Amino acid sequence: MAAGTEGDTIAPELRRRVRALLAAYDPATIPLREFLRARFDAGLAWVHFPEGLGGLGVPRALQAAVDAELAAAKAPDNDPRRIGIGLGMAAPTILRFGTEEQQQRFLRPLWTGEEVWCQLFSEPGAGSDLAGLRTRAVRDGDTWVVDGQKVWTSSAHTARWAILIARTDPDVPKHRGITYFVCDMTAPGVEVRPLRQATGEAEFNEVFLTGVRIPDAHRLGEVGDGWRVAQATLMNERVAIGGTALPREGGMIEKAAATWRSRPELRTPELHGRLLALWVEAEVTRLTAERARQQLAAGAPGPEGSGLKLAFARLNQRISGFELELLGEDGLRYGDWTMVRPELVDFYGRDAGYRYLRAKGNSIEGGTSEILRNIVAERVLGLPAEPRTDKDVAWKDLPR
């Protein structure tokens, strides 16, 4: 099935494939994982991926038709919120930079949800300045020995694999001495510790790497080219965070609007005007995200995703603050302060206080809002770059 074939020609063939899948694997009786594996093997997981890797090599925009057919048949999905890091960040990076062996090994269990992924990028001293990272990887024959610390790692406590960047050459400028790896989270020397947040939960983690051995076969891209590989991951991450498909009045604005409709005694003209402004902004952001997904269907994501993620963070924080203010005294109540280790964030099944506190993290995770403003300014708007005095200085000579 050629990638350049027109959608109206391909769509009937896709429907035929979906119906053949459903006939052979009845979702009402077949075990979940068996159905998902069969869907992957039929090329209906990511239709834009190559054949044999969960796809058919057809335009990405056709995925929506496949998903709709399967949803109508009440077929199970792969719980994308639980495995979002694998789907949104690891998979496109492995497809673009991985070897054939890596693609065959990792993509299928990643998509079916049998193996959860996490991201080992940020460090205590290298968050916004990610290229300044200190975690070292030293080659020892056919393996690399990794030592260092990572932080703000979602899903590390449930992950089987991690995408990891480490410094492999301290004698060159910081952006050039980084290499990208796939790290086994069950390997000796990997220690995961919870980070308790303002919400009371420990959804994030810090990860300590002590003498962790990674085979060279688990390196993605060339040695020293990890910054370029990481940029591809980060561009996909920002689209994944800010570009989630939502219905009209979906997401955070849905909760605020529901509170407004159900609690007429809370309404004032001033709050009404603010809600209307937030509703319009949420709708504009939703439509912008839809346009970004359409652009993504035509190729790899660019820096525009940074603007989308920036808008998402700002809007979530403003809406959650409005909802708390609208509720008055009720907004000061907080439901459950139990220390738990959730697999994923539950914005919408919790109370307004949780949403208000958790939304504060939106301007940090996936790239701080300050850094994203720089990316938008320089790479989207073409404004002059900020002066950088460390671009040509060897990493080992940088002040600490």
- One-letter amino acid of 351: D
Rounded Cα gap, residues 379 and 297, in angstroms: 21
Catalytic residue among 201, 206, 237, 304: 237
CA of 38: how far to CAs of 10, 108, 273, 387, in Å?
Answer: 20, 10, 51, 53
Q: Where are the beta strands (DSSP E) in the chain?
A: 117-120, 136-140, 143-150, 161-167, 178-184, 190-195, 204-215, 219-220
Residue of 372, 312, 306 lying closest to 347 (CA atoms): 312
Rounded Cα gap, residues 95 and 153, in angstroms: 23
The answer to whether residue 281 is catalytic is: no
CA of 245: how far to CAs of 1, 250, 288, 385, in Å?
Answer: 27, 9, 11, 32
Q: What is the dihedral of CA 25, 29, 34, 35, to 10 degrees?
A: 50
Residue of 75, 72, 78, 165 lying closest to 115 (CA atoms): 78
Quickly count: other Cβ atoms within 10 Å of residue 196's Cβ: 11
Catalytic positions are 237
